[in-house]
Amino acid sequence: MLRSPLVLIVALVTVWFIATFLIFPNATLLIGTFFPDGQLSFRAFEKLVSSERAMNSLWHSFLLAGTLAVTVNVVGIFIVLVTDYFAIRGARILWLGYATTLIYGGIVLAAGYNFIYGRYGFVTNAVGNWFPDIDRDWFSGYFAVVVVMTLATTTNHMLFLGSSLAKIDYQTIEAARNMGAGTLRILWRIVLPALRPMIFAVTVLTFLTGLGALTAPIVLGGTDFQTVAPMILTFSKSSSSQDLAALLAIILGLATIVLLAMMNRAEKSGVYFSVAKVATPLQKQKIPNRVTNGVVHVLAYALFVVYATPVLLIVLFSFLDSTAILRGMITWDALTLDNYATVFGTPSVLRPFIVSVVYSALASAIVVLGMLFVARVLQKYRNPVTGLLEYLLHIPWILPTILIALALVMTFDRPQALVGGQVLTGTTSLLLLAYIIVKIPFTLRLLKAAFASVPESLEDAARILGAGSMFTLRKVLFPLVIPTAAAITALNFNSLLDDYDAAVFLYHPLYQPLGIAIKASTEGENNLDSMSITFVYTVLLMIIMGLAMYLVYGRSGAATRRARRRASRN
Amino acid sequence: MNKRTITASSFALALLSTVVLTSCSAETDTAASGDATGTLIVYTNSNSDGRGEWITEQASAAGLDIEIVGLGGADLANRIVAEKNNPVGDVVFGLNNMFFETLKAEEAVSAYTPAWSGEVDSTAGDAEDGVFWPLVEQAIVMAYDTNTVSAADAPTEIADLWDGDQYTGNYEVNTALGQATPQLVLAGLLAPYADEDGDLGISDDGWDQVQAYFGHGSPAVEGTDLYARLIRGEVDFGVIPSSGITSRDTEYGTVTGVISPEDGVPYVTEQIAVINGTPRQEQAEEFIDWFGSSDVQGQFAAKFAAYPVNTEARAQALPAVVELIESLPKQDIDWALTREHIGEWVEKTELEYLP
């Protein structure tokens, strides 16, 4: 494999990057934390084991992750099937409703649900008017967190399972039907098995999201269901407790890696036949049974309403004064443009938007481009060395972003030979690097899954026809994974846009990113409109993120639809 | 090597150089460090509510070119310590004495005696070494709305809230212990129970107090202001820094009363200092001399309802603010002990006592 210069260069760059930016800074930080006087300290471990609260939170995080791994798959696969596989009336409208989770998340999403179903929420108020005896706190704890997070994290399913589904060989499905297989049987024996690599990949992501759940438990968990992420956040901000933060994060990270290893094995043992080698586009399936068809329609639209309401509310709330929101009384007089005036009245309000758009676009483009090569090499040459490299590239999943950022600041505050004797602390590049680093595992995971579903015969054919390795990569393989790569780029872009954790330690004073600007404008003892201003920023972010998704999907989606139409005409 | 592999290799090389180049190109805009001229970078956690813009404008009128970098207290202190080998900021102000003690211990700030040092009570800052100097004082109070709870019905001691079940679930406790105000509440709770032989310098009685305080309280709701909870009757009491009261009373139509315990309430003093190793030492000192002067502090106090430490500036402070602050006795808190242990206290509370 080393004879190919492409592989050689990719390997060299990867090894250099891993050593310089993943291992060196984090190892320095961790050694400092766990070996305070050159001796291994078990302090953190003892503290955690003896703390009932820590153990409970940890258990809750795992419980949540495990639950989500199931519930998100159920809801996510259902969503993908009703929008892309079955013939459902108004599937495009449904898609738009389900896609709302692409453009918002975090505290606003949790707050949005809380405003509807929470103690003072609309639904609770309305039901309370009829049945005054209801438990007003019905929407809290484990149940509420699971519901909200299930709905909020189906994003990956929509994008990645959706694109895998589109690649299924339709002829297999037709063949099965000709042999007399029913709808359910085709689904179970042909469609779902073909989606397995991607289902594995998104399950790992869901599990990780569940473990790291921060805002939903804070807002909706109540005292009974607190998870470990808020604790990690508190500890990582205090130098004397950073060992606890690191240890907790490592426990969560290792659990993810174990799951990842299991999925990797399962992925290797599977054989995936059904991926299309001949371009017969998937045609939407009618559900023959009328009752089932009706039930599926009702479910799909009910889910649509649940997904779309919080977004509509947030847009509405951005036009309300904050006391009206907090009192839960919405009248025509409360409608105002003041919140927007406050945001746009701030001098240089646009600058943080530009800074963040540039950072996010650069970081997500670089990471996807780089990982395209890396994922390809890892996928093609499986040996212990590439296996090790792959796991090392998941280091950013093991540590919280705050610690990664701290490690970078403290490592690159002096000339380092590994980066050619540069000092990176205090420069604009360090934040970009951090953004690239934190997005590596997610990008790699999904790109690898995308490459896995490309049949090797395609590549063999290209080679037999005399194509070189780069030509094959560029003309045969990349086009097949480009939809996934584009989706990853957009998702990375969207998630970096309002980042706070990395920026807080790394941003250059003259280039303030959006996350910091939002925090600054919503904080403050006398800032009573903070929630409204958060809503305004959310609406603005939704517009940018929606635009990003349109650039990726609106156009490529249109292209596929055109292709489908052309195919059906033939 | 055929043509395509060359293309391939050069593409990969281009990628590599992007990473390297971004590192190098950054050299051109290291405005933050290295040169003695240019914009003065001012780190603060006190830039919200329009303070940052106001200070930048006023400074510019006084001929000072500054850029405000605003972050939350704990984040800011961590950032300054992390950057101490290659400082990005030049001046820091607004952090409380606890954070400044940490910065001093880490040698992240350096001593400078401002021109206005004679106008402030030096014991409010770093009386020993003169590393940091006091600007503004705040009381951390337990507040309630006198529309719902009459002053006569309110407890006289804060500890009454969790002594017995009368007020259980009726007062707000902030569990985000990474933030400054909850840390100060904790310090205030533990201060009377300092005990060399106790766990982390605190007697068992002290820890019982912390357990009872969090155990009987109603945890703060992320994204919901204390006063919103007060007016809809979720809780009747809650902790707030004194400077936030005036604006809330206007907004929510409340008339705030505060519990004034015999031993006093915790006070915090926001400080200012030069960041150690700044190349713009002279400008930094100039800024400190300007910002801490009685004239600027007086205007600042009048505009943002602050209570300045500078005695000459106090004349310009709002009468309501002065009246409130002067009615509340100052709790005796051993700040050296607090700084030494606050990290461990927070850790213990987080692990053992939070609901």
pLDDT exceeds cutoff 80 at B318: yes
What is the reported pLDDT for B181?
86
Cβ atoms within 10 Å of A89's Cβ, excluding its own: 10
Burial class (CB in 10 A: 0-12, 13-18, 19+), A346: middle
What is the reported pLDDT for B25?
44
Binary contact (A427, B240; C-beta < 8 A): no
Q: Does A233 touch chain B (CB under 8 A)?
A: yes
What are the φ and ψ backbone dihedral angles of A568, each rounded to 5 degrees?
A: -70, -30
Tell me which chain A residues have a C-beta less than 8 angstroms from the C-beta of B224: 326, 531
Task: For residue B20, give the nearest of A52, A420, A504 by CB distance.
Answer: A420
Binary contact (B88, A508; C-beta < 8 A): yes
Task: For residue A419, give the nearest of B23, B67, B355 by CB distance.
Answer: B23
> What CA–CA distance (Å, rounded) separates B61 from B69?
19
Task: For residue A235, give the nearest of B19, B223, B347 by CB distance.
Answer: B347
Question: How do beta strands B237-241 and B133-145 pair?
Answer: antiparallel
What is the reported pLDDT for A272?
53
> What CA–CA distance (Å, rounded) separates A342 from A488?
34
pLDDT per residue as tens digits for the range B103-144: 998 899 999 999 999 999 888 888 888 899 999 998 999 999
Q: Does B249 touch chain A (CB under 8 A)?
A: no
Give the mean pLDDT of B298-313: 90
What is the reported pLDDT for A238?
78
Give the mean pLDDT of B142-150: 90
pLDDT exceeds cutoff 90 at B291: yes
Dig out the tokens for A89 from the structure: 């009336």
pLDDT per residue as tens digits for the range A25-59: 988 888 887 887 777 778 888 888 888 889 999 99
What domains sit in chain B, N to C, each tagged with a CATH number? 34-137+268-318 (3.40.190.10), 138-266+331-353 (3.40.190.10)
pLDDT exceeds cutoff 80 at A506: yes
Measured CA distances, A60 to A29, A141, A219 (Å): 28, 11, 15
Question: How do beta strands B218-219 and B40-44 pair?
Answer: unpaired
Q: How confident is the model at residue A554 (pLDDT cuts 50, 70, 90)?
A: low
ipTM here: 0.77
Return the percentage of chain A with pLDDT > 90, whole number. Answer: 19
Give the mean pLDDT of B243-253: 82
pLDDT exceeds cutoff 80 at B11: no
pLDDT per residue as tens digits for the range B150-187: 888 888 888 888 888 888 888 999 888 878 888 899 99
Residue spans of alpha helices (H) in A318-428: 322-327, 338-345, 350-380, 384-392, 395-398, 401-411
Q: Which residues lie closer than 8 Å to B279 by C-beta, 6 or more apart?
A: B33, B34, B35, B36
Dig out the tokens for A96 from the structure: 């738009």
Give the mean pLDDT of B253-267: 90
- Closest residue in chain B to residue A12, using alpha carbons only: B16
Measured CA distances, B51 to A349, B44, B45, B59, B241 (Å): 16, 10, 10, 12, 17
Mean pLDDT of chain B: 84
What is the reported pLDDT for A1?
55
Interface mutation vs chain A, best among B7, B13, B15, B140, most A CBs within 10 Å: B15
Binary contact (B88, A414; C-beta < 8 A): no
Interface mutation vs chain A, best among B13, B48, B51, most A CBs within 10 Å: B48
Give whichever of A491-500, B146-155, B220-229, B264-273 has the largest mean pLDDT: B264-273
Q: How confident is the model at residue A569 (pLDDT cuts 50, 70, 90)?
A: low
Q: Does B219 touch chain A (CB under 8 A)?
A: yes
Higher pLDDT, A444 or A260: A444
From the centroid of its chain, how far is CA A5?
34
Tell me which chain B residues have a C-beta less than 8 angstroms from the C-beta of A406: 78, 82
pLDDT exceeds cutoff 80 at A515: yes
pLDDT exceeds cutoff 90 at A570: no
Q: Secondary structure of chain B in the HEC alphabet?
A: CCHHHHHHHHHHHHHHHHHHHHHHHHHHHCCCCCCCCCCEEEEECCCCCCHHHHHHHHHHHCCCCEEEEECCHHHHHHHHHHCCCCCCCCEEEEEEHHHHHHHHHCCCEECCCCCCHHHCCHHHCCCCCCCCEEEEEEEEEEEEECCCCCCCCCCCCHHHHCCCCCCCCCEEECCCCCCHHHHHHHHHHHHHHEEEEEECCECHHHHHHHHHHHHHCEECCCCCCHHHHHHCCCCCEEEEEHHHHHHHHHHHCCCEEECCCCCCECEEEEEEEEECCCCCHHHHHHHHHHHCCHHHHHHHHHHHCCEECCCCCHHHCCHHHHHHHHHCCECCCCHHHHHHHHHHHHHHHHHHHCC
Give SS3 for A86. strand
What are the φ and ψ backbone dihedral angles of A351, each rounded to 5 degrees?
A: -55, -50
Measured CA distances, A354 to A497, A499, A517 (Å): 10, 14, 12
Q: How confident is the model at residue B206 (pLDDT cuts 50, 70, 90)?
A: very high
What is the reported pLDDT for B309?
92
Q: How confident is the model at residue B345 (pLDDT cuts 50, 70, 90)?
A: very high
Cα–Cα–Cα angle for A305, A549, A325, nearest 5°? 45
- Cβ atoms of A402 and A236 within 8 Å: the answer is yes
Question: How do beta strands B267-275 and B133-145 pair?
Answer: antiparallel
| Angle, in degrees to the nearest 10, between helices B97-105 and B335-348 | 100
What is the reported pLDDT for A360?
94
- Mean pLDDT lowest for which of A175-184, A207-216, A242-251, B23-32? B23-32
Mean pLDDT of chain A: 83
Alpha-carbon distance A240 to nearest alpha carbon in chain B (angstroms): 6
Give the mean pLDDT of A512-527: 74
Alpha-carbon distance B9 to nearest alpha carbon in chain A (angstroms): 5
| Angle, in degrees to the nearest 10, between helices B180-190 and B204-216 | 130
DSSP label at A275?
A: B
- Domain A1-41+348-522 sits in CATH 3.40.50.150: no
Cβ atoms within 10 Å of A293's Cβ, excluding its own: 16
pLDDT exceeds cutoff 70 at B333: yes
Q: What letters, b where the CB count within 10 A reaches 16 and e where it falls short, cover A523-535? A: bbbbbbbbbbbbb
pLDDT exceeds cutoff 60 at A193: yes
Domain borders along chain A are 1-41+348-522, 42-317
pLDDT per residue as tens digits for the range A270-319: 555 445 555 677 888 888 888 999 999 999 999 999 999 888 888 888 88
What is the reported pLDDT for B289?
94
- Cβ atoms of A5 and B5 within 8 Å: the answer is yes
Alpha-carbon distance A157 to nearest alpha carbon in chain B (angstroms): 29
Q: Does A410 touch chain B (CB under 8 A)?
A: yes
Task: For residue B12, give the nearest of A6, A406, A510 by CB distance.
Answer: A6
Binary contact (B31, A512; C-beta < 8 A): no
Same fold yes or no, A1-41+348-522 and A42-317: yes
What is the reported pLDDT for B24?
43
pLDDT per residue as tens digits for the range A465-495: 888 777 887 888 888 888 889 889 988 998 8
Q: How confident is the model at residue B284 (pLDDT cuts 50, 70, 90)?
A: very high
pLDDT exceeds cutoff 70 at B18: no
Alpha-carbon distance A486 to nearest alpha carbon in chain B (angstroms): 18
What is the reported pLDDT for B27?
41
pLDDT exceeds cutoff 80 at A229: yes
What is the reported pLDDT for B30?
42
From the centroid of its chain, how far is CA B162?
26
Tell me which chain B residues have a C-beta less than 8 angstroms from the C-beta of A473: 8
Q: Does B65 touch chain A (CB under 8 A)?
A: no
Cα–Cα–Cα angle for A210, A213, A216, nearest 5°? 120
Give the mean pLDDT of B261-290: 92
DSSP label at A337?
A: S
Binary contact (A508, B32; C-beta < 8 A): yes
Give the mean pLDDT of A361-382: 90
Give SS3 for A8. helix
Give SS3 for A318. coil
pLDDT per residue as tens digits for the range A111-130: 788 878 887 777 887 788 88
Burial class (CB in 10 A: 0-12, 13-18, 19+), A566: exposed
Q: What letters, b where the CB count within 10 A reaches 16 and e where it falls short, cover A384-394? A: eebeebbeebb
Binary contact (A6, B53; C-beta < 8 A): no
pLDDT per residue as tens digits for the range A440-463: 999 998 888 888 777 777 788 888
What is the reported pLDDT for B14?
53
Q: How confident is the model at residue B244 (pLDDT cuts 50, 70, 90)?
A: confident
Give the mean pLDDT of A324-353: 77
Tell me which chain A residues have a C-beta less than 8 angstroms from the C-beta of B231: 327
- Domain A42-317 sits in CATH 1.10.3720.10: yes
pLDDT exceeds cutoff 60 at A223: yes
Q: Does A528 touch chain B (CB under 8 A)?
A: yes
Binary contact (A469, B5; C-beta < 8 A): yes
Closest CA to B167 of B156, B180, B179: B156
Q: How confident is the model at residue B248 (pLDDT cuts 50, 70, 90)?
A: confident
